[in-house]
C-alpha cells in the first residue's frame, strides 16, 4: 500500500563509500573523544595518552586514504547479467550463516534467466544485505522465501521472512543512514541498498507486520 512504500529518493545523500568511511572511523573517533574528555576534566596532559591519540588520528587518516583509493579503483561495470544466478551465488555465500541460525532459504519457482543491466557486485551487495537482515530478524527456526519473476517491464525480486517484523514507525526509518535497532548494527546495510538500487533505476519497498515478518520488494527495469 501507499504508506508502506519507501522511495529510493531518501538515500541520495551519501554514497556507499562515504558510508563505509563513516563506519570505520567511528571507533578511533570515540577513543579520541574519550581522551579529550579526560583531559578537560583532569586539566592535565599525559604523554602516553597523546601517543595513543596520535595513532588514532593516523588510523583515521589511513582508513580514509584507503577508502578513497578503493573508490578510485573500484570501477563500475554495467553489463547484462542474470539476476537469478547472482542470487544463487549470494545464497551460497549465506548458507553457513543461515544454517547456524536454523534458517531455511527457499526459492519459489523462479523463472530463469532474468537478465538485468547492472553492476554484478553491487547487486550482489543488495541481495546480501537484504537476506542478511532477514536472517537476523529470526528469533527461532525461520523461513526466507525468495521469488524472482519478470513482469511486463520489470524484474521483481521478493524476499520474504517470517521474522520479528516491524511497526510503521520503524518502516518509515528504513534506509536512513545509521538507523539500526541492533546492538552491533551499523544501520548502513539498507542505506547502501537504497543507493545502489537508485543507481540502477530500480525501486525498493517493504511490507511488514510485527510478529509475522517482513517482505522486501525490489524491482529493476527488465532488459530486452
Tell me which residues touch ligand ADP (CB under 6 A). Answer: 129, 133-134, 137, 161, 163-164, 166, 170, 174, 179-182, 185-191, 214
Least Å distance between CB 109 and ligand ADP? Answer: 22
Instruction: Return the one option of Mg ion, ligand ADP, none that residue 137 interacts with (CB less than 5 to 8 A, by type).
Output: ligand ADP
For the bound state, the minimum distance from the C-beta of residue 82 to ligand ADP, rounded and expressed in Å, comes to 25
Select 119 or 129, whichever has its Cβ closest to ligand ADP: 129
CB-count exposure of residue 177 (10 Å: 0-12, 13-18, 19+):
buried
- Is 8 or 214 the residue whose CB approaches ligand ADP more closely? 214
Least gap, CB of 121 to ligand ADP (angstroms)? 18
**203 interface partner picked from Mg ion, ligand ADP, none, CB below 5 to 8 A per type:** none
Sequence-ordered list of residues with C-beta below 8 angstroms from that of 27, at least 6 positions apart, any chain: none
Residues near Mg ion (CB under 5 A) are: 133, 189
Q: In terms of C-beta density within 10 A (0-12 exposed, 13-18 middle, 19 or more buried), how is residue 82 classed?
A: middle
Question: 186 contacts which partner out of ligand ADP, Mg ion, none, CB within 5 to 8 A by kind?
Answer: ligand ADP
Q: Residue 195 Cβ, how far from ligand ADP at the closest point, in Å?
A: 11
Q: Which is nearer to ligand ADP, 53 or 192 (CB)?
A: 192
Shorter beta-carbon distance to Mg ion: residue 175 or 202 = 175
Does residue 113 have a cis bond before it (omega within 30 degrees)?
Answer: yes
Phi-psi region of 110 (alpha: psi -120 to 50; beta: other; left: phi over 0): beta
Contacts 24+ apart (CB under 8 A), 169-176: 170/208, 171/4, 171/6, 171/206, 171/208, 172/6, 174/6, 174/206, 175/6, 175/8, 175/10, 175/11, 176/10
CB of 172 to ligand ADP, least distance (A): 11
Binding partner at 214 among Mg ion, ligand ADP, none, C-beta below 5 to 8 Å by kind: ligand ADP
Amino acid at each position: 500500500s501507499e504508506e508502506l512504500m519507501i522511495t529510493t529518493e531518501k538515500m541520495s545523500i551519501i554514497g556507499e563509500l562515504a558510508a563505509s568511511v563513516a563506519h570505520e572511523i567511528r571507533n578511533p573517533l570515540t577513543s579520541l573523544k574519550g581522551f579529550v574528555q579526560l583531559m578537560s576534566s583532569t586539566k592535565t596532559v599525559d604523554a602516553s595518552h597523546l601517543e595513543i591519540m596520535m595513532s588514532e588520528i593516523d588510523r583515521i587518516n589511513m582508513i580514509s586514504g584507503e577508502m578513497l583509493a578503493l573508490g578510485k579503483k573500484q570501477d563500475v561495470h554495467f553489463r547484462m547479467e542474470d539476476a537469478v544466478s547472482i542470487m544463487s551465488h549470494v545464497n551460497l555465500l549465506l548458507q553457513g550463516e543461515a544454517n547456524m541460525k536454523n534458517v531455511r532459504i527457499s526459492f519459489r519457482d523462479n523463472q530463469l534467466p532474468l537478465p538485468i543491466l547492472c553492476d554484478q557486485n553491487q547487486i550482489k551487495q543488495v541481495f546480501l544485505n537484504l537476506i542478511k537482515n532477514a536472517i537476523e530478524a529470526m528469533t527461532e527456526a525461520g523461513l526466507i522465501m525468495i521469488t524472482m519473476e519478470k513482469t511486463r517491464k520489470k524484474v521483481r525480486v521478493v524476499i520474504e521472512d517470517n521474522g520479528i517484523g516491524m511497526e510503521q514507525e520503524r518502516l518509515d526509518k528504513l534506509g536512513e543512514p545509521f538507523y539500526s535497532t541492533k546492538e552491533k548494527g551499523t544501520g548502513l546495510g539498507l542505506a547502501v541498498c537504497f543507493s545502489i538500487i537508485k543507481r540502477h533505476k530500480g525501486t525498493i519497498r517493504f511490507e511488514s507486520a510485527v510478529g509475522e515478518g517482513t517482505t522486501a520488494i525490489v524491482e529493476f527495469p527488465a532488459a530486452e
